[in-house]
Amino acid sequence: MDKKTPLHALPASPRDFGFFVDGHWIEPGSRATVVRLSPAHDVPVTCITRCTKDDLDHAVTVAREAFADRRWSGLAGADRAAVLLKAAAGIRGRLDELSLLETLETGKPISQSRGEVEGAAAIYEYAAGAARALHGDTFNNLGDRVLGLVTREPIGVVGLITPWNFPFFILAERVPFILAAGCTIVAKPSEVTSATTLVMAEILANAGLPDGVFNVVTGSGSDIGQAMTEHAGIDMVSFTGSTEVGRRALLASAGNFKKLGLELGGKNPQIVFADADLDDAADGVVFGTCFNAGQCCVGGSRLVVERSIAADFEKLLAEKFSRIRVGDPLDPETQVGAIITSAQNDSILGHIAGGLKGGARLVCGGEAMNGKVGRFIQPTLFADVGRDMAIAREEIFGPVLTILPFDTFEEAVEIANDTIYGLAASIWTKNLDKALQAMRLVQAGRVWINTTISGGPELPIGGFKQSGSGRETGIYGVEEYTEVKSVHITLGKRDHWVS
Interface contacts to ligand TXE, rule CB under 6 A: 161-165, 190-191, 221-222, 225-226, 229, 240-242, 245, 248-249, 264-265, 297, 344, 347, 395, 397
Give me the least distance between CB of 265 and ligand TXE, in Å please: 5
d(C-alpha 9, C-alpha 5), whole Å: 8
Give me the least distance between CB of 246 and ligand TXE, in Å please: 7
Length of the chain: 499
Residue 297 falls in the annotated catalytic set: yes
Could you tell me which of 269, 112, 105, 125 has the C-alpha nearest to residue 189? 105
Residue 395 falls in the annotated catalytic set: yes
As to burial, measured by CB atoms within 10 angstroms (0-12 exposed, 13-18 middle, 19+ buried), residue 13 is: exposed
Q: Toward ligand TXE, which CB reaches closer, 113 or 162?
A: 162
Residue of minimal CB distance from ligand TXE? 221
d(C-alpha 246, C-alpha 232), whole Å: 18
Give me the least distance between CB of 294 and ligand TXE, in Å please: 10
**Pairing state between β 361-364 and 464-465:** unpaired
Catalytic one of 297, 320, 465, 472 = 297
Q: Toward ligand TXE, which CB reaches closer, 73 or 243?
A: 243
Give me the least distance between CB of 29 and ligand TXE, in Å please: 22
Q: Toward ligand TXE, which CB reaches closer, 299 or 405?
A: 299
Q: Toward ligand TXE, which CB reaches closer, 154 or 265?
A: 265
Q: Toward ligand TXE, which CB reaches closer, 210 or 455?
A: 455
Give me the least distance between CB of 168 and ligand TXE, in Å please: 14
Integer-rounded Cα radius of gyration of the chain: 24
Catalytic one of 263, 314, 472, 480 = 263
Catalytic one of 173, 230, 395, 480 = 395
Catalytic one of 86, 188, 320, 465 = 188
Side chain identity at residue 177, one-letter code: F
Q: Toward ligand TXE, which CB reaches closer, 154 or 398?
A: 398
φ/ψ of residue 465, rounded to 5: 45, -135
Could you tell me which of 156, 88, 159, 161 has the C-alpha nearest to residue 128? 88
Give me the least distance between CB of 262 and ligand TXE, in Å please: 10
Residue 394 falls in the annotated catalytic set: no
Whole-angstrom CA distances from 395 to 147, 346, 375, 392, 402 are 51, 14, 19, 8, 12
Residue 51 falls in the annotated catalytic set: no
Coil, strand or helix: which one is 38? coil
What is the number of alpha carbons within 13 Å of residue 159 lying toward its C-beta? 30
Active site residues: 188, 263, 297, 395
